Amino acid sequence: MLNTAQKTEASGTEHELTDGFHLVIDALKLNGIDTVYGVPGIPITDLGRMAQAAGIRVLSFRHEQNAGYAASIAGFLTKKPGVCLTVSAPGFLNGLTALAHATTNCFPMILISGSSEREIVDLQQGDYEEMDQLAIAKPLCKAAYRVLHAQDIGIGLARAIRAAVSGRPGGVYLDLPAKLFAQVMNADAGAKSLVKVIDAAPAQLPAPAAVKRALDVLKSAKRPLIILGKGAAYAQADDAIRTLVEKSGIPFLPMSMAKGLLPDTHPQCAGAARSTVLKDSDVVMLIGARLNWLLSHGKGKTWGDQPKKFIQVDIEPKEMDSNVEIAAPLVGDVGSCVTALLEAMGGNWPAAPADWVNAVKTKREENVAKMAPRLMNNKSPMDYHGALGALRTIIKERPDAFLVNEGANTLDLARGVIDMYQPRKRLDVGTWGVMGIGMGYAIAAAVETGKPVLAVEGDSAFGFSGMEIETICRYNLPVCVVIFNNDGIYRGTDINSAGHDPATTVFVKGARYDKMIEAFGGIGINATTPDELKRAVNAAMDSGKPTLINAVIDPAAGSESGRIGNLNPQSVLKKK
């Protein structure tokens, strides 16, 4: 609290006072929020300084969007709302992409922004950075609140926390006008106005009849499949999920951020036989996974001609039947649903059909053997497979490290090549497929866990957040950034046949990204072969020092839009 005594003229008595700044900080601390990501400026500069002085770790970024991405993934890793603090109007808008990203991916996050005064905004009188931020935020997040009075700060933050983590998690916006921070009130009354949120995300138990229905459908399967989504990883019900998978004996397919819930080398893992299990399965159990574009909406040629029944475990009832009929909806939080399934299975659950399990195993081994030689080449310049083969070995030897991954080809190929061994260690673009999450994610993973981070970036993806390497150096974080540099977006070989400007997808030839980090005191390395890349990454991970490695990739390597080129419309008109 603000340790200031003010003497009232009327009574001559002294009262200890507090203000909006201190009430926001005390409310955060009361609810266990000890880290804030953001960019300082008007009107929240002093809030950051005072929060830091009060023992909250405040990490200042170079751009609000990257601070927001850091807050979003902090929420995923901790199950507490990650907090991003921004200035008004432009800063708020910069943070909105991350807020919408958090909502789409079901990450708990709170975007707190300073704002202009309501009476001026509402009359559109032209205040500094005037904007009706609450109205703009509402369509892009799970909930949005504005606090106008100091005595309501505790309630406002409590509502934001509960909205962010309860039910399906998501992004929440909290609007704090500049005038609020300077409001003064009695310190005792201020303390009493704060709210400690109790049981912010209560368990949501599934109905017994729904559990029985799900198991009846699963038991009828001849070619069952379990798909694990990042919702399963977020739940932190790792032991129960592993027990369910192993007790059932059913092949499982992890979505990218669910990799490592069970090791990708687990005998039931069907990651290397993805096409086969999606096409040939007859009953599919989705655990914390959605039938969105990443799973071809549960229909079409990806899923083959075999009729399918879906069992879906999700905390959001409206997710059921979103694309196809769900034969057995199981509504509740993942941990409670999986526990209920295990209890109802009892001790004599029938083994998964041996012919199906063996067919999946054969296909997986066939695909792994086919890929192996491509991962062992030592070409210079490197192709994607040779470079990823080197990184694959490093993650195998360092399973406790985080892998942050984004790009087009860099993302799509790494997702299949690099095996994960522990839960919540692979962090990537998720449901939206956005570019720019890399440095924000890497910073938050290092800050929240203290673990080493390997960020594998396409050269285009890195451009969205690259200035944050200064932030990594400033806080001396154990982050090694590897940039797959093939001179362009998708490939660096495109030609502009109509003029002298470079083609729209081409970057500066032979760029040396490693030189950038040296400007901030970090370590820069240029790697031209997989062997050089492996040595450089191992040295960086051993040292724990901020490092950036420019991995020189053949400009001709890569394909248009990675593996989702079908989403990029092609012109049917011939050039004249």
**Is the peptide bond preceding residue 43 cis, with omega within 30 degrees of 0?**
yes
The secondary structure of residue 260, as a DSSP letter, is: T
User: Which class for 459: exposed (0-12), middle (13-18), buried (19 or more C-beta within 10 A)?
Assistant: buried
- CATH classification number, 376-559, choose in 3.40.50.970, 3.40.50.800, 3.30.1280.10, 3.30.420.40: 3.40.50.970
Residue-level pLDDT at 8? 43
For residue 482, give the nearest of 456, 464, 520 by alpha carbon: 456
Residue type, 521: G
The whole-angstrom separation of Cα 280 and Cα 118 is: 59
For residue 174, give the nearest of 187, 191, 155, 201 by alpha carbon: 155
**Mean pLDDT per 10-residue section of the chain, whose length is 576 residues:** 43 78 98 98 96 98 98 98 97 98 98 93 88 97 98 98 98 97 97 98 98 98 98 98 98 98 98 97 98 95 94 98 97 98 95 97 97 93 97 98 97 97 97 94 98 98 98 98 96 93 96 98 98 98 98 92 76 63
Domain 4-193 has CATH 3.40.50.970: yes
Residue-level pLDDT at 130? 84
User: Which class for 130: exposed (0-12), middle (13-18), buried (19 or more C-beta within 10 A)?
Assistant: middle
Residue type, 383: D
Give the phi and the psi of residue 266 in degrees, each rounded to 5. Answer: -60, 140
Beta-carbon neighbour count of residue 138 at 10 Å?
A: 12
Are residues 492 and 561 in contact, defined by beta-carbon separation less than 8 angstroms? Answer: no
The strand order across the sheet containing 426-428 reads: 426-428, 402-406, 453-458, 479-485, 547-552, 523-527
Q: Would the pTM count as exceeding 0.85?
A: yes
Alpha helices (H) in 106-229, listed in sequence order: 118-122, 133-137, 153-165, 178-182, 187-193, 208-219
For 1, the token pair is 């609290």
Distances (CA, A) of 442 to 203, 353, 469, 479, 481: 30, 42, 10, 7, 9
For 54, the token pair is 């009060």
Count CA within 13 A, CB hemisphere, residue 535: 8
Residue-level pLDDT at 3? 43
Give the phi and the psi of residue 132 in degrees, each rounded to 5. Answer: -85, 80
Residue-level pLDDT at 382? 97
Indicate the CATH number for domain 208-362: 3.40.50.1220
Are residues 553 and 486 in contact, defined by beta-carbon separation less than 8 angstroms? Answer: yes
> Where along the chain do its domains lie?
4-193, 208-362, 376-559
What b/e string do you get for 488-524 counting C-beta neighbours within 10 Å, with b at 16 or more? Answer: bbbbbbbeeeeeeeeeebbbeeebebbebbeebebbb
Angle of the 90-105 helix axis to the 64-78 helix axis, nearest 10: 30
Residue-level pLDDT at 100? 98
The whole-angstrom separation of Cα 128 and Cα 90 is: 11
For residue 219, give the nearest of 247, 252, 258 by alpha carbon: 247
For 198, the token pair is 């109790």
Give the phi and the psi of residue 410 in degrees, each rounded to 5. Answer: -60, -40
Residue-level pLDDT at 11? 46
Distances (CA, A) of 207 to 52, 165, 211, 311, 522: 46, 22, 6, 14, 54
Residue type, 219: K
The whole-angstrom separation of Cα 439 and Cα 545 is: 15
Q: For residue range 357-385, what is the model confidence (pLDDT) as tens digits?
A: 999 999 999 999 999 999 999 989 999 99
**One fold for 4-193 and 376-559:** yes
Residue type, 155: I
